[in-house]
Amino acid sequence: MSRRTDAAAPRVAVIGAGSWGTTFGKILADGGAHVVMWARRPEQAHEIDEAKRNSQYLPGINLPRSMSATHHLSEALEGATQIYLSIPSQSARQNLKALRPLVADSDVPIVSLMKGVEKRSGLRMSQVIEQELHCDPARIAVASGPNLALEIAREQPTAAVISSTSRETAEAVARRARNRYFRTFVNTDVIGTEFGGVLKNLIAVAIGIVDGVGYGENTKASIITRGLVEMTDFAVAQGAQPETLQGLAGLGDLIATCQSPLSRNNTAGRLLGQGYSYQDVVKQMDQTAEGLGSVAPILNLAREAGIAMPIVEQVKMVLDGTMKPRDIAPHLTTDDDQPQGERTQNEQAGSGGALWRSLQRALDQLRNGGRRTAGD
């Protein structure tokens, strides 16, 4: 395969050549790196390498000349200064086993672009990476935010959060993963950043269901608002900082995923709302909708922590076929006829208004063109 590279450009590897992996490869290449993509199928690797296209996942997008591709894992990793992982969460462990011997003697950052939890264990992807690669968690970073792949591939401006328990690792990745249309912030709250990326998918499925049924903006706004409460309650119970759920990895990603037809999880929910069964939805989806596989493990973790998640519970009932999609809306926020307070379960007495402040903060960020406000 062709390897026309700029000798001065840092070399990075992206494992997985779906829409998000390829888009992130483009982000890195447009930021000055030479990117080597690993694609499972040889014909896909050949198209990226020679035609600078990935027609199945990013139709109409021309990829930079500084992107190349291979279907040989060892070739993709050779000389990489950073490694980005963009593979389905439910097959992550299997793919990481193949990766382990190739990175055993390396200390380069490993960056998760995945947004899911493992069904069997309920582990976050950074935890699965740590287990399977036997690496220091300080080497692991995660990327999350309002990042719809096709919009970014079209170079529409957005931002993301890079999170690691090591601030040094987060900053090193953030410096590499930025360019004129993609900006990165950093934090050290890996738990909140990862769960934000997982939980917003579940709320997006709910939004898709009611959209498919034909309900309007009031219904969807109610679900998004109360969905943020569920996300915050759950993540804080797992050890996250509530501020993270008010930032790009929480509210920002929630808004983007819930409102866009480009969202796979929104699309999956819409098909459910139109009457398709779970199995039919999976067959129709060209790519993985991570939210569908995360519902059960998230609810298991929520029950263990004593956290009520009525929206996610109703989504599971629709997935299981025990509730008609049209019946979901009256139950999405609470099944209790007793009037409930609006604040989150984890909010301290006297701190009312946190939900409103988080929404106002997101609006301010949008008005300011994504410039930094207090937080991320």
> Which residues are part of the catalytic machinery?
200
* Nearest alpha-carbon partner for 188 in 110, 237, 241, 131: 241
Q: How far apart are CA 125 and CA 164, in angstroms?
A: 13
DSSP string, 259-291: H-TT-HHHHHHHHHHTT--HHHHHHH-SS--HH
Q: Which residue has the tokens 């980005």?
A: 84
Q: How many CA atoms lie within 13 A of 373 on its CB side?
A: 19
CB 317 within 8 A of CB 308: no
CB atoms within 10 A of CB 279: 8
Give 122's DSSP letter: -
In degrees rounded to 5, what are phi and psi of residue 351?
Answer: -115, 30
In degrees rounded to 5, what are phi and psi of residue 283?
Answer: -65, -35
Instruction: Name residues whose C-beta falls within 8 Å of residue 98's C-beta, 6 or more positions apart in sequence.
Output: 73
CB 3 within 8 A of CB 38: no
* Nearest alpha-carbon partner for 312 in 293, 329, 298: 298
Q: How far apart are CA 1 and CA 227, in angstroms?
A: 47
What SS3 state is found at 9? coil
CB atoms within 10 A of CB 314: 23
Q: How far apart are CA 348 and CA 11, in angstroms?
A: 47
